[in-house]
Amino acid sequence: MAIRTVDFRSDTVTKPTESMREAMANAEVDDDVLGYDPTAHRLEAKMARIMGKEAGLFVPSGISTIGGVHPRTVKNNEDGTMDLDLIEAVIRDSSFEILSPTTRLIFLENSHSRSGGRCLSIEYTDKVGDLAKKYGLKLHIDGARIFNASVALGVPVHRLVQAADSVSACLSKGLGAPAGSVIVGSKSFIARIGVLCAADSVALQENLVKLEGDHRNAKILTEELNKIRGLKVDIATVETNIVYCHIRKGSKISRT
């Protein structure tokens, strides 16, 4: 029987499906500077509609979403949330702290990768949104795996990000596109290419429905890993598609 090797390092280890390759080969494209790329336009409009926002902007990598920002971090809890009073405590008073950067933005991640893919609830996100409005701030959600959070919580993605002014959603992780993220928000926020957008559109159409199965497989993987002497996974933390496996002290298992 043939042995198949599966790479579990990250959901970023993906390859485009045949339908994605076909879509890329046949993509209707244009120069996004001289004109406007129709494939990019369709993807941006679709993502904005799914997220319940006015407009979208395709970017090749989600890391390019936020730039020129001076961060002020808050320690998160095990479930990925940050205590609201701690967030409020680090908001700077611009009329007093004149030598420090002015607080303009609160930044959340959903699902929370460092917490093993834990999901931020609607109730929590809405409370952070209310806090942002109280101080005249914007709320941005890093939605690298927002579709995983939506599926795991059983909540429409547009409701999950309703409190946010802007959202960045990655299409190359759980959805399996070769590259690409879309930033969505108000028309005034989104400033104004198609080969990658064609594959991303296929990822939305074909792979979104597969995320629930990915989550089930992650739980199965967790159960099997816990049967191996020397390994430990906290099954309660596995809500989506991220599994953190810990090597017990004294184990002869190598970390590499």
Helices 195-202, 18-25: axis angle to 10 degrees equals 150
Find tokens 């409009």 and name the residue.
45
pLDDT score of 14: 81
Alpha carbons 241 and 216: distance in angstroms, whole number: 8
Encoding tokens for residue 54? Answer: 């006015």
Helix (H) or strand (E) holding 223: helix 211-225
Instruction: Give yes or no for a contact between 179 and 201, defined as CB atoms under 8 angstroms apart.
Output: no
Q: Which residue has the higher pLDDT, 226 or 5?
A: 226
Encoding tokens for residue 145? Answer: 């795996």
- pLDDT category of residue 32 using cuts at 50, 70 and 90: low
- pLDDT category of residue 186 using cuts at 50, 70 and 90: very high
The average pLDDT across 87-114 equals 87
Q: Percentage of the chain surpassing pLDDT 90?
A: 59
Q: Is the pLDDT of residue 33 over 70?
A: no
The average pLDDT across 201-217 equals 92
Report how far apart the first and last C-alpha atoms of the chain are (Å, whole number). Answer: 27
Enter the DSSP assignment of 237. Answer: G
| CB neighbourhood size of 1 (10 A) | 3
**pLDDT of 44-99, one tens digit each?**
999 999 999 999 988 877 665 566 678 889 999 999 999 999 999 999 887 776 77
pLDDT score of 8: 83
Determine which of 61-70, 110-119, 124-133, 152-161 has the lowest per-residue pLDDT on average: 61-70
- pLDDT category of residue 120 using cuts at 50, 70 and 90: very high
Alpha carbons 162 and 184: distance in angstroms, whole number: 12
Q: Is 215 helix (H, G, I), strand (E, B) or coil?
A: helix
For the entire predicted model, the pTM comes to 0.81
Helices (H) and strands (E) in the chain, counts: 8, 7
